[in-house]
């Protein structure tokens, strides 16, 4: 049985022109998720957004508070490159640089996989996600991916973060 929150998300995304695929749709629970095709990055590489719904019983540690259910919608995208072994610390500096600018930090470096991914979790208490909210979250995710990926990739290839950011700023200034 398909997750009703994910079905709603799938419908909104299809109406907006996005392509999605179900993963483990026959299994109820946390192993079920949507894969959404994102626009290609600036080098023409495909990207996927993993969308999962997690229902959780929540109770406040207050006398007489009742338990209620919340819905957490998780958005995850692995960036389409790997990090060179000697560049992990510089990539970590870059990840921290971008995470300071995001209200809810989302870039994560997985040292074992030598890969960076972006994750955002949206709390949707007790009701369905609205179309405008979902499309805004997708747009925000794309903005951060497109902004940070070139810097993260270049630092992952061994360049110093400060040099990469300086280079990116010069490109932006020349286009004004």
pLDDT digits (tens, 9 = 90+) for 76-107: 999 999 999 999 999 999 999 999 988 888 99
Rounded distance between C-alpha atoms, residue 141 and residue 12, angstroms: 16
What's the DSSP call for residue 24?
Answer: S
DSSP H or E run through 164: helix 161-174
Name the residue range of residue 35's domain.
Answer: 4-174
Global pTM reads: 0.85
| Res 44: pLDDT | 95
The DSSP string of 52-86 is EEEEEEE--SSTTPPPEEEEEEEEEEE-SS---GG
As a residue count, the chain comes to 176
Contacts of 176 (CB under 8 A, 6+ apart): none
Q: Which of 39, 24, 19 is nearest to 80 (CA)?
A: 39
Residue 18 has pLDDT above 90, yes or no: yes
Of 46-50, 78-82, 170-174, the poorest mean pLDDT is in 170-174
| Res 1: pLDDT | 67
| Res 25: pLDDT | 66
Confidence of residue 61 (pLDDT cuts 50, 70, 90): low
| Res 82: pLDDT | 95
108-161 pLDDT, tens digit per residue, is 999 999 999 999 998 876 677 889 999 999 999 999 999 999 999 999 999 999
Residue 28 has pLDDT above 70, yes or no: no
Q: What sign results for the dihedral spanned by CA atoms 37, 26, 74, 132?
A: positive
CATH number at residue 84: 3.30.1460.70
Contacts of 4 (CB under 8 A, 6+ apart): 128
Task: Give me the mean pLDDT over the 46-50 stretch.
Answer: 96
End-to-end CA distance of the chain: 52
Of residues 130 and 16, which shows the higher confidence score? 16
pLDDT averaged over the chain? 89
Task: Give me the mean pLDDT over the 15-33 stretch.
Answer: 83
- How many domains does the chain contain in total? 1
């Amino acid at each position: 049985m398909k997750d009703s929150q994910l079905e709603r998300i799938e419908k909104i995304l299809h109406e907006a022109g996005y392509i999605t695929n179900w993963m483990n749709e026959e299994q109820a629970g946390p192993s079920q998720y949507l894969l959404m095709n994102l626009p290609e990055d600036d080098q023409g590489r495909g990207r996927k957004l993993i969308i999962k719904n997690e229902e959780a019983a929540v109770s406040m540690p207050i006398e007489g508070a009742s338990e209620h259910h919340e819905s957490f919608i998780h958005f995850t995208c692995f960036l389409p490159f790997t990090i060179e072994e000697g560049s992990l610390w510089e990539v970590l500096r870059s990840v921290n640089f971008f995470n300071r600018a995001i209200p809810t930090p989302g870039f994560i470096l997985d040292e074992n996989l030598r890969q960076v991914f972006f994750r955002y979790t949206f709390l949707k208490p007790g009701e369905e996600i609205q179309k405008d909210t979902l499309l805004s979250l997708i747009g925000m995710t794309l903005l951060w991916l497109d902004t940070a990926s070139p810097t993260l990739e270049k630092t992952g290839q061994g360049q110093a973060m400060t040099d990469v950011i300086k280079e990116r700023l010069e490109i932006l200034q020349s286009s004004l």
